[in-house]
Amino acid sequence: MRFRFLQSLFTTTPTQAGQFDKSLILKAIERVVDGTDPRLRVVSHYRRKLWDAVEHALDYVVTFVNTLPPASAVDRHAYITDPRLRALFVSPDHLQEVLSFSDGTRNYLKQANKPLPAELYAALGVTRLEKTVLGIDLDGEMLQRDVPQTVVNFCNHRLVFLTDNEQDTRRELMKRGFDYLIEVALQGLASTRAQKQQLEQQQHQLLFQKKASLMKAAKLGLEALLEPATSEPTDVDAIERQLQDVETELEQLRADSGTLEQHLEKVAATLGKPEDFLQLEPISLTLDHMNTKVPPNSRRVANTLTFDEMVLAEERRLIALFIRFPSHEILPPPDVFAEARRFL
């Protein structure tokens, strides 16, 4: 999702909460409108009505990103000394492959001017998955088998927002965080519209069924020939009035579609409560060398590791951290033809 201000947001203004000038907020408002429903510009004073919510969302995103610790050194040597890296990556080779062949690295190399800076900065995202297995443990001096244990798996490593300095990487994450809130607002509008269309369809169906029943009761077709006469005379005028009421209801249903004012209010409500859709939650894991959780007072050798986990809408979770690594550790692209010849 790209908007007209994609390259300008957070680039020339302070990235501290509460330090936004008027021009940044105005750009952010237009970004919100472009990203949700450009017709919102028709609403009278739409900028004023979005101002407080957008300013709060900007403030929240900046604080959110600045809460993340400084960039950690990530390279083959750090893998040996940092237990967090040993938990996140299977091996030093795996770590180097992620640094070298991630989409973020490839995109950066395509656009980078040679020579590369000595050190690169990036944001690393990793998915944490836990599963219960049966393992072996010691209870005093006794070896126990089939003991339920929790194994933590770190997967789906994503390296993004590569730059030559940490502040630019943080700015990019701020921008993406704000865009994420816009996406949430857009999804809210789409969901509301889908629900409304479903209700309208159901109401149309019921009204048409009611109209058909009334016409049948009035014996306006061949029912008079097919059905026996009743003792009660048909009140044609009453049925006509009911039919007119149904027609009126159908017309009102078509006219009472969601207004742009209501859309604007919904977008403002979403941006006004960013904490409902984006949170940062510290997690602490005590793991052995196999990434198995170790209970307190256990005799097994373990490390207690702390990570920051992003919690997105619908309880989606992602470990996030800023990293820095030497550019000389980036591996050259694999030779596809050489790999193919190995199997010939």
Name the one residue in this structure whose structure tokens are 């170790």: 294
Q: Which tens digits make up the pLDDT trace of 165-177? A: 999 999 999 999 9
Tell me the residue type at 235: D
Chain centroid offset of residue 263 CA:
21
Give the other-Cβ count within 10 Å of 79's Cβ.
20
CB 123 within 8 A of CB 160: yes
Q: Which tens digits make up the pLDDT trace of 70-86? A: 999 999 999 999 999 99
Tell me the residue type at 112: A
Tally of residues, the chain: 344
Structure tokens at 35: 């990203």
Q: Which tens digits make up the pLDDT trace of 12-61? A: 545 565 668 899 999 999 999 999 999 999 999 999 999 999 999 999 99
Answer with the residue of higher pLDDT: 297 or 164.
164
Q: Which residues contact 207 (CB under 8 A, 6 or more apart)?
A: 246, 249, 250, 253
Provide the pLDDT confidence category of residue 115 given band limits of 50, 70 and 90: confident
CA distance 43 to 94: 53
Residue 312 confidence (pLDDT) = 94
Across residues 241-250, what is the average pLDDT?
63
Residue 126 confidence (pLDDT) = 97
pTM: 0.76
Taking Cα atoms as reference points, which of 212, 162, 180, 193 lies closest to residue 32?
Answer: 180
Answer with the residue of higher pLDDT: 27 or 204.
27
